[in-house]
Structure 1
């Protein structure tokens, strides 16, 4: 058709040795592919340049993809609206705390996956024990990124041993780069995952060789678990990249704790009580800390501490 502008339907059918049905099927295929366009002349169709047809096909596919994405987003918004208060409603449906023992890796994994899908605002976690295998950390990283991309806040505390294993340290740095706040500490009391402050998973007493965990629902117990997390968070330290500026700052653990509490909004009296010292002693200590980090005011100390990964 492109090579012979004077083509007719009968001529095309004879030259291609097509039956009437075969000819009509070929026309239908070319029309769907955008290689033919219907016209009002005697032939009924005119050929379309291949590059034009390809551009048209791409436009059709893009339009179809846009409709599909819009439908998915609409369904996601609907499901999110239904799930927004699901765990809160479950927690409030009973005035009693509910605790369930989960046994077996598959059952625990399924519960944690469900929590990662339904979480709305925040996940707090503590991870004692030896670093997991590299493959397990990579799998958890994919789940964490999926949660963080939805705008969920994540804070995670790990043992300092993670900071000394190259692949584990790389995992912690990747968590930070993805938006998770990470700290390390010498010890942790138990494994904890706290979801939206209404659902928690904690280490269960070991019975036999299998894995076990406690699933806890209830505002009061979850509030207590959050206090345990915040205590460990306060006494943890940020993950420091090798060669960072913090290596040149010599602060004691107590001085770092003072910085973190002040950055968290604690008053001088509250910090002094937490450390078991007088307010006057605390203020002298604060002055020494400012000198060590090169700050002239508490505001500047907060900025410098963040730059040095001290808080």
Structure 2
């Protein structure tokens, strides 16, 4: 006898594909397993218990998010279902934020990766380069890469979102409002432009080995960061010295060190490159 979660997945797939009722879709299950499968689907909002019919996964997720619940495990289960339903591609954008620090998130993401990859889904995830400053996130992304997920990095990632099969998108909303922490867009007319946005960001992004200077190796002092910010504006050494309250000679030395560290050809380029690498965030 298969476990309840797997049995529920098979029953739900049968109901969606054949348009059958719950009772008709569970005739092959052992009678003692039917209540558990019913409860599992109902808890995810995937079963209309009164009508005995399936509920669209995205509609179920939309209602769940609108319920203003703090029950993250339920939301995670819905996201797992979306990963299981994907058949072609999953496109992700991840700006730097506190969400990356959730201690259980990496394990949950990798579980979803395993399911989607087993179904032949291509997963492309794009992260902010500043993520390299977080050791646990580096390990997490290296582990994802090892399983077959394609990972790239960009200086600036505009928003957090996941696009499934270029037909459904979940975009991060107002994180201060529990009722609007995510926006769900269904249909290719809505999701396709977001997929194109991901495509553009992807083509201009870098793989880990190509990120100049390995951002996580940078250990800049606040004084060095200030110098870099001012270099990016075109400020001269004497102006920077006055702002820092140090000698011009000290600023000249710091500029030389930073320019060499960044492999920049000019002072201005050093400031711009540091911003591009996320060193000033």
Q: TM-score, normalised to structure 2's length? A: 0.48
